[in-house]
Amino acid sequence: MKEKDEQQRRMVAGKLYNSSDTCLILLRTLTRSRVDRYNRTRAWQIVTRTRLIKKLFPNGGKSPFFEPPIRTEYGENVTFGDNFYMNFGCMLLDVAPIKIGHNVMFGPNVIVATPCHPLVAQERIMHNYDDGFHCWEYAKPIEIGDNVWIASSVTVCGGVKIGSNSVIAAGSVVVRDIPEGVLAGGVPAKVIRPITDEDRMFAAQNIAPPTGE
């Protein structure tokens, strides 16, 4: 594997880095060309989609299914487990690492965004150095546990961890950690209540549980 560029190492480590770095621009361009190809595929081109997902997300698990259009910046900074599903219009902005567990579901228009920008305007705007233009930013990693459902139009911000078996209600903005096994929602998202046996639906509708459960 090619050694990482210095700015790429700083980026993944969460330090201020120059997003105008030539190496990073080339990586983003390659990823976006693959994303564009994926988004142009037709519903019946399952084999082609599977191959493109593997190229886009080399650290992904088995049996992902993504409804186009999708968006990502690098792809290689995303790790996901088996059976990851994304509905239409989702974004994985993986400047810092994004880690997603097994059996995770995203509703439409979910945004998982690791990038951050300096609050001080003088540090945030583009500057011209001797070696060219620099645009300084940084990022915070995101971690999503197993069996999580993130409903439509949720934004998950950098630095957040969402515990396994939790549900994030539609339209929420997640800016702080969410524990395991809860329903959370709102702007900013807060824990609404635990998910309990009273939420089970199989028995009430005469549906047998899967074998072994």
Active centre residues (catalytic)? 117
Q: Which amino acid is at 47?
A: V
- Helix, strand or coil, per DSSP, at residue 30: helix
Q: Which helix (H) or strand (E) covers residue 97, if one does?
A: none
184 vs 99, 139, 174, CA distance in Å?
A: 20, 24, 9
- Helix, strand or coil, per DSSP, at residue 168: strand
Nearest to 175 by CA among 193, 190, 165: 190
